[in-house]
């Protein structure tokens, strides 16, 4: 969707949205693509590789759309997709969109309570899952009166049906339901860093809204030979709408592989084995990959672009990426409700370490105060995006009050605090509820975490404020040490001194706690609320 240009300003000035009145994601990313073009390369955990063309996906998703209608699913009803990266997950999404249903992606590592909440809240009519997750559904099914059917991709039980058996019996011909660009297509639940998850309802147009934000940080994607992969699960907006669907819109093949646990060494080998050219690697994945010793001497990378988002990237990760991948990792920013609105693109602009980037062409992004008025350059306020915007959610599912609170006038509030410099770059500070107030200073945890992460003994770190009778709050760092380092009072003191010599006097962590792991959302964000509860 981006027009070619040599500078950021040139590309932004030339940009125009192209959103038709009638639009269907499934038709766009599958049915209009050349039938014999490679679409999906799937490597399962055993190493077996299966390849699908767009023509095969068209037939299979048509069959699934017919299955849904045969089971009585009506247009607008919700279908849960409780699957990891897999052909079945892709087929389910395409079929749901084509028949006018609303997909509800669900993360396979959710426990029964989390699955129950989302299926109940969305009034899901049907769920597609596998033998690994079906027992979770069985455990809660009697509390889900609207759930009429459960399909299992690799088996069946008395209360379920086999996904593939039903597909084989269904016709491969299907006339997609005519949907408007503004019709609901999916509900993605927020990752729940604060409060209960809310279902962000997105229209079919959300994919078109994502395109500039994918093309920009992947250095004017697509280009000849591109092939995309991410370890981020397709149950989240980062995997589904930052990688899978935008790639298919452009006819670019996608690698599907989701290990039960992220293995950084295996990730390097996987990208080489399948000649991955484009990758979305969340900061947490990058931090784990950074612990692998000199991967560039053992793996022949051919990556053309790497994008990252979800947590602030610091100078150390950028430098490591340059050394290992031979390119600059482009950081981008967005959230479930309005995604990929800020970013970096090394092809047309300088990347400033730690910056969220500049507004992606097509999006009006500003820093606003509590009244919704844009603030002066350099002043900290809340990141906000002006509506209308095709990437913006329609509403929170059955939660008009939360939807109303998300906006001030035409500004959609992100809840993230940042500032903007004279050249239009945005600089993240913190979530508005993660700010630390110490000795009269307002401190964002990101800057402190970036510093502590540079210590050679630190693998991961999360920083919060804890109550202090004198300073209101003091900074406490929860540190996951690297495997070769043993927690001790001496190491804690060393890390404190490291921070004290690199940060302002009020910013270094006055307390250090060593932990085996940090509480994370399923999308890899540190749940600082949980750390604060630990005290």
For 379, other C-beta atoms within 10 Å of its C-beta total 11
Domain-located, residue 522: yes
Q: How far apart are CA 145 and CA 115, in angstroms?
A: 14
State the DSSP code for 528: H
| Number of residues that make up the chain | 535
Q: How far apart are CA 70 and CA 464, in angstroms?
A: 52
Domain-located, residue 236: no
User: Which residue bears the tokens 């799937």?
Assistant: 42
Give residues with Cβ within 8 angstroms of 428, minimum separation 6: 312, 333, 354, 356, 416, 417, 418, 444, 446
Specify the CATH number for the domain of residue 107. Answer: 3.40.50.12780
Q: Which of 188, 204, 220 is the last residue of a domain?
A: 204
pLDDT of amino acid 193: 47
Q: How far apart are CA 264 and CA 290, in angstroms?
A: 8
Specify the CATH number for the domain of residue 466. Answer: 3.30.300.30
By DSSP bridging, strand 38-43 and strand 254-256 are parallel
Domain-located, residue 1: no
Domain-located, residue 142: yes
pLDDT of amino acid 191: 62
Domain-located, residue 450: yes
Structural domain count of the chain: 2
Range of the domain at 505: 436-534
Please give the structure tokens belonging to residue 533.
């509860």
Q: How far apart are CA 249 and CA 226, in angstroms?
A: 13
Rounded to two decimals, the pTM is 0.89
Domain-located, residue 429: no
Domain-located, residue 449: yes
| Segment-wise mean pLDDT, segments of 10 residues, the chain, 535 residues | 96 97 98 98 96 98 98 98 98 98 94 91 98 95 97 91 98 98 96 71 98 98 98 94 98 93 94 98 90 92 94 86 96 96 97 95 97 97 98 97 96 96 94 80 83 94 90 93 96 95 85 95 85 89
State the DSSP code for 88: H
Q: Which of 165, 183, 204 is the last residue of a domain?
A: 204
Residues 446 and 315: beta-carbon distance below 8 Å: no
Q: Which of 204, 236, 269 is the last residue of a domain?
A: 204
For 46, other C-beta atoms within 10 Å of its C-beta total 6
Q: How far apart are CA 448 and CA 431, in angstroms?
A: 14
Handedness of CA 445, 451, 455, 459 (dihedral sign): positive
Q: Residues of 313-348 as b/e, b for ≥16 C-beta within 10 angstroms?
A: bbeebbeebeebbeebbbbbbbbbbbbbbbbbbebb
Domain-located, residue 127: yes
């Amino acid at each position: 969707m981006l027009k070619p240009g040599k500078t950021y300003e040139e590309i932004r000035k030339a940009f125009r949205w192209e959103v038709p009145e009638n639009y269907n994601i499934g038709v766009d990313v599958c049915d209009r693509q050349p039938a014999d073009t490679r679409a999906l390369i799937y490597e399962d955990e055993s190493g077996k590789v299966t390849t699908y063309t767009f023509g095969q996906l068209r037939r299979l998703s048509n069959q699934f759309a017919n299955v849904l209608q045969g089971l009585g699913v009506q247009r607008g009803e919700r279908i849960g997709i409780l699957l990891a990266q897999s052909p079945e997950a892709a087929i389910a999404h395409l079929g749901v969109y084509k028949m006018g249903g609303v997909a509800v992606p669900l993360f396979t590592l959710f426990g029964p309570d989390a699955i129950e909440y989302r299926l109940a809240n969305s009034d899901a009519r049907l769920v597609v899952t596998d033998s690994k997750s079906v027992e979770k559904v069985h455990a809660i099914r009697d509390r889900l009166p609207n759930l009429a059917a459960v399909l299992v991709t690799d088996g069946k039980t008395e209360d379920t049906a086999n996904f593939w058996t039903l597909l084989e019996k269904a016709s491969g011909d299907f006339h997609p339901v005519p949907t408007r660009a503004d019709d609901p297509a999916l509900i993605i639940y927020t990752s729940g860093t604060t409060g209960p998850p809310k279902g962000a309802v997105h229209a079919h147009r959300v994919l078109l809204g994502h395109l500039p934000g994918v093309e920009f940080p992947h250095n004017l994607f697509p280009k000849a030979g591109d092939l995309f992969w991410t370890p981020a699960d397709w149950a989240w907006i980062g995997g589904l709408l930052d990688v899978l669907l935008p790639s298919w819109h452009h006819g670019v093949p996608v690698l599907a592989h989701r290990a039960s646990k992220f293995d950084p060494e295996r990730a390097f080998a996987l990208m080489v084995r399948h000649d991955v050219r484009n990758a979305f690697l969340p900061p947490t994945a990058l931090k784990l990959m950074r612990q692998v010793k000199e991967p560039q001497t053992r793996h022949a990378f051919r990556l053309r672009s790497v994008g990252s988002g979800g947590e602030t990237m610091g100078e150390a990760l950028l430098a490591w990426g340059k050394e290992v991948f031979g390119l600059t990792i482009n950081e981008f920013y967005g959230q479930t409700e309005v995604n990929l609105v800020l970013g970096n693109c090394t092809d047309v602009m300088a990347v400033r370490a730690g910056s969220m980037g500049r507004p992606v062409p097509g999006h009006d992004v500003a820093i606003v105060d509590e009244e919704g008025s844009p603030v002066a350059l350099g002043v900290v306020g809340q990141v906000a995006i002006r509506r209308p915007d095709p990437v913006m959610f329609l509403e929170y599912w059955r939660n008009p009050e939360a939807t109303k609170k998300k906006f001030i006038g035409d500004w959609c509030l992100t809840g993230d605090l940042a500032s903007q410099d004279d050249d239009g770059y945005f600089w993240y500070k913190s979530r508005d509820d993660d700010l630390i107030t110490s000795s009269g200073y307002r401190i964002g945890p990101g800057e402190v975490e970036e510093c502590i992460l540079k210590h050679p003994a630190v693998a991961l770190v999360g920083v919060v404020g804890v109550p202090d009778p004198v300073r209101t709050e003091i900074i406490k760092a929860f540190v996951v040490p690297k495997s070769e380092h043993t927690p001790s009072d001496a190491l804690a003191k060393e890390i404190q001194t490291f921070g004290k010599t690199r940060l302002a006097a009020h910013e270094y962590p006055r307390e250090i706690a060593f932990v085996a792991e940090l509480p994370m959302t399923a999308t890899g964000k540190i749940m600082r609320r949980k750390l604060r509860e630990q005290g």
